[in-house]
């Protein structure tokens, strides 16, 4: 196998490892998010909370999606980058 094929295989392995780590951490982050939004912490189900707390609830909702999507995009970028020389 030539060096180009070896580098492509290594990039593929790194991308798969990143995807596995991100998807393995997603349930843990979801559980922490649900605990954070509960009535003992931020109380996001309460309609009388301040606008600042509402934005905190919104940011905690969006954080899981952004972390998973960002991790998948990083894995895709590692696999598709051409100038990455893994020697």
Average pLDDT for 25-51: 89
2 sits in which H/E element: none
Output the pTM of the full model: 0.76
CA atoms of 72 and 55, how far apart (whole Å): 26
Report DSSP letters for 21-82, one per residue.
HHHHHHHHHHHHHHHHHSTTTT-TT-TTS-HHHHHHHHHHHHHHHHHHHHHHHHHHHHHH-S
Task: Summarize pLDDT for 45-68 with one digit per residue, the tens.
Answer: 888 989 998 898 899 889 999 999
Assigned domain for 11 exists = yes
* pLDDT number for residue 85: 61
Count of structural domains, the chain:
1
Show the domain range for 29: 3-80
Assigned domain for 86 exists = no
């Amino acid at each position: 196998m030539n060096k180009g094929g070896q580098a492509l295989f290594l990039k593929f392995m790194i991308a798969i490892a990143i995807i596995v780590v991100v998807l393995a951490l997603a349930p843990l982050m979801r559980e922490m998010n649900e605990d954070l939004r509960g009535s003992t912490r931020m109380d996001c189900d309460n309609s009388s909370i301040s606008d600042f707390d509402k934005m905190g609830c919104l940011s905690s909702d969006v954080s899981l999606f952004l972390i998973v999507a960002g991790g998948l995009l990083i894995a895709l970028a590692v696999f598709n980058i051409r100038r990455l020389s893994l020697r």
